[in-house]
Amino acid sequence: MENNQLRNILTKIGEVNPEYTLDKQVYNFAKLVRFIDNPSEEMKQAAMVQEDPSSIQYIENPSEIVQLAAVEEDPYSIQYIQNPSERIQLVAVDEWVFSIQNIQNPSEKVQLAAVKQYTWAIQYIQNPSERVQLAAVEEDPFSIQYIENPSEKVQLAAVKDDPFSIKYIQNPTQRVIQLVRSKKLDI
């Protein structure tokens, strides 16, 4: 099929359903950019990062649409984005939970999304909030091994669910020790 025929078909589809116009779909399918007369710089950038997501590092101040195109294609590319929005961070973590390690200062919402997907992702989060720590140990008490200096509340939550998780707590509080002993375990 010739390019003109294909372009006409794609144009007709966009006329029938405006959600599928070439201008909108180029952000989902990079190769469509060839059918657009005078594509915008943003369209060219979106097409480029879909072909090679790491190329986003060479784009100065990429738009959120371009950032989204990159992380949807390869969540690892978030490492090349300075100050990605929470939306971009969430997409990256949803696509590949381990991309959390490439996000500087992820929001609490992003941290929670990561540990709810895979509790041991907490090991890649610097200074997780108590809420994030609790979410991790309530899902998997043994994830406490990756939490530096967990609060008593976090320690209690972990040993309440599984007393054997105490072996991963460096300095358990007296209340934590008492709770474990009340469950008839020697520590």
pLDDT at 99 (0 to 100): 97
Longest dimension (CA), the chain: 78
- Per residue in 158-180, pLDDT (tens digit) is 999 999 999 999 999 999 999 99
Read off the tokens for 101: 């390690």
Confidence of residue 184 (pLDDT cuts 50, 70, 90): confident
What are the residue ranges spanned by the domains of the chain?
A: 126-187
Q: Is the pLDDT of residue 33 over 90?
A: no
- Per residue in 46-56, pLDDT (tens digit) is 889 999 999 99
Confidence of residue 103 (pLDDT cuts 50, 70, 90): very high
Q: Is the pLDDT of residue 69 over 70?
A: yes
85: left (phi over 0), alpha (psi -120 to 50) or beta: beta
Measured CA angle at 69 (ends 58, 88), to 5 deg: 90
- C-alpha neighbours within 13 Å on the C-beta side of residue 184: 0
Read off the tokens for 115: 């540990």
Q: Is the pLDDT of residue 29 over 80?
A: no
Instruction: Give 28-31 contacts, CB < 8 A, sequence gap 24+.
Output: 30/69
**0.95 cut: is pTM over it?**
no
Write down the mean pLDDT value for the chain. 91
